[in-house]
Amino acid sequence: MIAPFFLLAIALFILVWLGITDKAMRVLAERAGHPYHARGPRLARITVGVIIVLIAGYMLAPREWSEPPPPMVATYGPDSLWMGMDTTLIDRIGGEREDLVAYGRELIRNTAYYLGPQGTVAHLTNGMNCQNCHLEAGTKPWGNNYSAVWSTYPKFRERSGGNETVVKRINDCIERSLNGTALDSSSLEMRSLLAYMEWLGTGIPKGKKPKGVGLAELLFMDRPADPVHGEAIYTAKCERCHQKDGAGQKAADATTYLYPPLWGEHSYNIGAGLYRLGRFAGYVKNNMPQGASWEAPQLTDEEAWDVAAFVNSQQRPMRDLSSDWPRIAAKPVDHPFGPYADAFTEEQHKFGPFGPIAALNKK
């Protein structure tokens, strides 16, 4: 931007200088009694004026007129952490795809506004936003991000015992984490969510998972997670936002939450990923209390496990899980509902210690 400013300044200077010399020539010519020919100087001034307009126009024109759009590449390398895509690139996508990606991102951030109990599009979900659990619109390292969705689906999942598309996986979260009703696969909303996930997966090769994907897996403790210790942590570190009754706190406009609920009728149901202790502890460790991150966690692993045990011991919506995990030997160690292929109790599958179960599964 320095060069055009410099040129503009020179052009303005020349214009002023032409004006002054023109006036001086005219005065001199009149004093000497000669006729003064103003055409030449006027032409020069018009030329310089046009140049000034061109330079100013160049400086004011939108940048993409003069610069080619940046290539659509992901901002991660194989060894660096995936930090999401540059959202200013969304404006450069163009056409229908740009609208879909932008709306998909908006739906992740403000799900309740469109699909919640008072949703403007439909009433399908419990009032939470996808972003409450998939932080920063699904782009935060170890903040349950979507980096590997496009590169790893469709894939076989043991929970359903079948091949799952992205549509199925999204509806899983709608039916479980948002305790709601599935979105039609041809709806504008579903197509937009898919477009956003695809865009987020730009540059990630098929089958690959970037570093920082999803949630961290914490090391198992040697003891069961302790809900009584967890309650003390909850009171000290969570209650001021999520409230004593776990119901969270509504935002001023009442359509969405300032602090989402952790249990009770408006929370995720017993079939949700967070209902498994390992997923909850992994989420909380790197993301809660609000402001925590993988670089600056605020809880020890033990605190994360114990607060998970407390929160997931409270009342929440039920769900029929009888057709989940059709191959019972494939149940994760922390799936808290039998029957199991091993002899450990539901209690141990819920609170741990998980080490012995994992060791047996390995054999």
Q: Site residues (CB under 6 A) for ligand HEC?
A: 111, 128-135, 144, 146, 148-149, 169-170, 173-174, 177-178, 193, 214-215, 237-238, 240-242, 259-262, 268, 272-274, 279, 283-284, 288-290, 299, 307, 311
Q: What pairing do the DSSP bridges indicate for beta strands 257-259 and 162-164?
A: unpaired
Question: Least Å distance between CB 319 and ligand HEC?
Answer: 13
When the beta carbons of 76 and 283 are compared against ligand HEC, the nearer one is 283
Question: Least Å distance between CB 181 and ligand HEC?
Answer: 11
When the beta carbons of 41 and 161 are compared against ligand HEC, the nearer one is 161
Distance CA 293, CA 359 (A): 30
Residues 246 and 322: beta-carbon distance below 8 Å: no
When the beta carbons of 179 and 348 are compared against ligand HEC, the nearer one is 179
When the beta carbons of 259 and 294 are compared against ligand HEC, the nearer one is 259
Question: Least Å distance between CB 330 and ligand HEC?
Answer: 13
84 contact partners, CB below 8 Å, separation of at least 6: 75, 136, 137, 138, 139, 140, 145, 147, 200
Question: Least Å distance between CB 169 and ligand HEC?
Answer: 4
Residues 118 and 125: beta-carbon distance below 8 Å: no
When the beta carbons of 221 and 299 are compared against ligand HEC, the nearer one is 299
Identify the CA nearest to 294 among candidates 284, 302, 303. 284
Can you give the three-state secondary structure of 327-361, one letter per residue?
Answer: CHHHCCCCCCCCCCCCCCCHHHHHHCCCHHHHHHH
340 contact partners, CB below 8 Å, separation of at least 6: 328, 331, 349
Tell me the one-letter amino acid at 318: M
Question: Least Å distance between CB 63 and ligand HEC?
Answer: 31
Q: What angle do CA 284, 289, 292 make, to 5 degrees?
A: 80
The residues facing 156 across adjacent strands are 163
Distance CA 75, CA 201 (A): 11
Q: What is the CA radius of gyration of the chain?
A: 31
When the beta carbons of 230 and 352 are compared against ligand HEC, the nearer one is 230
When the beta carbons of 45 and 109 are compared against ligand HEC, the nearer one is 109
When the beta carbons of 102 and 130 are compared against ligand HEC, the nearer one is 130
Question: Least Å distance between CB 311 and ligand HEC?
Answer: 6
Half-sphere exposure of 31 (CA within 13 A, CB side): 6
Question: Least Å distance between CB 140 and ligand HEC?
Answer: 9
When the beta carbons of 98 and 158 are compared against ligand HEC, the nearer one is 158
Question: Least Å distance between CB 65 and ligand HEC?
Answer: 36
Task: Tell me the torsion sign for CA atoms 71, 72, 77, 83.
Answer: positive
Question: Least Å distance between CB 246 and ligand HEC?
Answer: 9
